[in-house]
Every structure is written in structure tokens, then in C-alpha cells.
């Protein structure tokens, strides 16, 4: 066999091995692992308290409820005190755990982190859920987004800056105890084409990248860091009212995502979303222009429906 022939065979063999490993890893992390081991994770081993940001609605509220159901005391951090107190009361009465509420607006300045740091003194926080986030009323082209000059810094502070700042507060005590769990909620838009969601997708990309590298740094110190990259979930933020197979209700999504802890360093959290991710990434690899155009067209259709319903008005230059 010639050198060229040998090299060609080696390349084909390498690609096939990578494909096999990738498919096996996908099946194990998304289906087999969660099914076999996902329900046996002892979340209380990390510490007595879990802190959840963006905890009064949607995914954040369900993470708080699910962890309370598993016996953890919950610190709820969000913007509106009345909502925080309502959710805290529900959790205490239903799961017989302690709660604490901290009302801060993550689009504000760095002073909010001093408030959080002061409030949590003396609390053994073993789990941190960085869930807080904001989006736009509807997807749109960058220059057509209303109040763009205010939206950009607000979204960066809420979706991106909040994550390393909260880790900076909580990680030291985890490092000292040599155990802890940090879950950062990113988005599928971080890793697939996301035209008309430019700033949102970029901030979620930051969340995903930060999580991957922080996990690398602190795994040897007993600290798990997981990036969760969900697709559509029926929440107030997405304005999806009813859960479906592809867009589940928040409680269904969270229970599924928690079963991947310790199994997948990053996950969509819900296997239909994993299938969606796989299809999008393969399409991007095989037909990148078609994939980008298709996702852009989809976002344009969502935008146009929002305009027609009267819930969104784009900026007109």
C-alpha cells in the first residue's frame, strides 16, 4: 500500500473512531447514564444550602423546588421581594425546609454582590444554580432591537457578569470544603446558529465557555461545574404556555436535567433537546449556509408573529 493510501485509511479510521465515541458518549450521557444513576445522586452531600438565582419563575423556581424536595435549604435570589416571599413560603410549607430570600436586580451595579455576600454569611452553600437571565420580547436584527443601548449592558450584566461574580462569592467555601456543585444555565443558542438573538446568544456562549473552563480547573478539588444548554422550555420568558414533547414545562425539564449531574459535564438537560442539538450541529457541519439561513428564517417568523399580535414593536431607524 502506498503512503497516500495508508494515510487515507488512517484518516477514515480516525473519523470512524471519533464518530463511534461521540455516538456512544451521547447515548450514555443523555439516556443510559441518567436512567441508571440519575435518581441516586445525593445532593445533600455538597452542603446544607442551595442558592438559586432567578428563582421566582420558570427553570430557576423549579430548581429551587426540586432541590428542596431532596432536603436542601434554599436561598432564593431574584428581583421582586413579594414574589420571593411567596415562593419561599410555598417551598417551606411543601417540603419542610428553611429558606432565605435576597432581593437584588442583576442588571444593577456591582453593589448587589456586596449585599448577597453579607446576607449569606455563615451559610454552608453546597450548590449554586446560576439561572438568572433576560431576553428580548422577540428575536430581531441587532439594529432593530428597541432601547438597544440600555438592553446591551443590562443583558451582559444579567446573563454573563452574574455568573463569574456569583462563583467568586460561593466558590471559596466550596474550595475550602473540597466539595460543591455549580450549575450554570446557558442556552442551545450558545452552540448553534442564532441569528436575531445576537446579544442573548453571545452572553449564553460566555456562560457555557466559562463553565467548561471552570470545571477543568476545579474538578480535582471535588467541585463539579455543569453547563446546561436547554432548547425551548415552556416558561414566562419564552412565552410558551403549554408544555410539549420538544418544549417541556419547567418542572419536567429540571427533573430531567438533575439526573445528568455527575454524568455529563455539559448537557441540554433533556434528551429531545439533545437530538435537536445533534441535528443542528450536523446540519451546520454539512450544509452551513442552509442551516444559518433556516435558523434566521425561523427567528424572522417568530418576530413577525410577535409584531402581528401586537406584543412587539421593532425600532425603526
Dump pLDDT digits (tens) for 8-46: 676 666 766 666 666 666 677 777 777 777 667 899 999
CATH 3.40.50.720 for domain 41-309, yes or no, is: yes
Q: What is the pLDDT of residue 21?
A: 64
Percent above pLDDT 70 for the chain: 91
Q: What is the pLDDT of residue 18?
A: 66
Distance in angstroms (rounded) separating the CA atoms of residues 198 and 276: 20
- CA-CA distances (angstroms) from residue 273 to 17, 46, 65, 231, 280? 25, 28, 22, 5, 10
Distance in angstroms (rounded) separating the CA atoms of residues 202 and 159: 10
Average pLDDT over residues 215-219: 98
Give the CA radius of gyration of the chain: 21
* Mean pLDDT estimate for the chain: 91
Distance in angstroms (rounded) separating the CA atoms of residues 62 and 270: 15
Residues known to be catalytic: 200
- Is 281's pLDDT higher than 90? no
Q: What is the pLDDT of residue 13?
A: 67
Helix (H, G, I), strand (E, B), or coil: what is residue 183?
strand
Average pLDDT over residues 96-119: 98
Question: Minimum mean pLDDT among 37-41, 88-92, 280-284: which range?
Answer: 37-41
- Is 256's pLDDT higher than 70? yes
Question: Minimum mean pLDDT among 167-176, 212-221, 284-293: which range?
Answer: 284-293
Domain regions of the chain by residue span: 41-309
Amino acid at each position: 500500500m502506498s503512503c497516500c493510501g495508508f494515510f487515507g485509511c488512517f484518516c477514515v479510521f480516525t473519523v470512524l473512531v471519533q464518530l463511534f465515541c461521540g455516538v456512544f458518549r451521547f447515548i450514555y450521557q443523555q439516556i443510559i447514564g441518567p436512567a441508571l444513576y440519575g435518581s441516586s445522586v445525593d445532593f445533600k452531600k455538597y452542603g446544607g444550602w442551595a442558592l438559586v438565582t432567578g428563582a421566582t419563575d420558570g427553570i430557576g423556581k423549579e430548581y429551587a423546588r426540586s432541590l428542596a424536595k431532596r432536603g436542601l435549604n434554599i436561598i432564593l435570589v431574584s428581583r421582586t421581594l413579594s414574589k420571593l416571599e411567596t415562593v419561599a413560603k410555598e417551598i417551606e410549607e411543601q417540603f419542610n425546609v428553611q429558606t432565605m430570600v435576597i432581593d437584588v436586580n442583576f442588571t444593577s451595579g456591582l453593589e448587589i454582590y456586596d449585599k448577597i455576600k453579607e446576607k449569606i454569611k455563615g451559610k454552608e452553600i453546597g450548590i449554586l444554580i446560576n439561572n438568572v437571565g433576560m431576553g428580548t420580547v422577540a428575536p430581531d436584527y441587532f439594529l432593530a432591537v428597541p432601547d438597544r443601548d440600555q438592553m446591551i449592558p443590562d443583558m451582559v450584566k444579567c446573563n454573563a457578569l452574574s455568573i463569574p461574580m456569583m462563583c467568586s462569592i460561593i466558590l471559596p467555601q466550596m474550595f475550602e470544603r473540597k466539595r460543591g456543585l455549580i450549575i450554570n444555565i446557558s442556552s442551545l443558542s450558545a452552540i448553534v446558529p442564532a441569528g436575531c438573538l445576537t446579544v442573548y446568544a453571545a452572553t449564553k456562549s460566555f456562560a457555557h465557555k466559562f463553565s467548561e473552563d471552570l470545571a477543568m480547573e476545579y474538578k480535582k478539588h471535588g467541585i463539579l461545574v455543569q453547563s446546561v444548554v436547554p432548547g425551548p422550555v415552556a416558561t414566562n420568558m419564552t412565552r410558551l404556555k403549554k408544555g410539549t414533547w420538544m418544549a417541556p414545562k419547567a418542572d419536567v425539564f429540571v427533573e430531567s436535567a438533575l439526573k445528568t449531574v455527575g454524568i455529563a459535564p455539559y448537557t441540554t438537560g433533556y434528551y429531545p433537546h439533545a437530538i435537536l442539538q445533534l441535528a443542528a450541529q450536523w446540519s451546520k457541519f454539512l450544509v452551513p449556509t442552509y442551516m444559518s439561513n433556516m435558523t434566521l428564517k425561523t427567528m424572522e417568523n417568530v418576530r413577525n408573529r410577535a409584531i402581528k399580535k401586537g406584543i412587539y414593536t421593532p425600532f425603526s431607524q
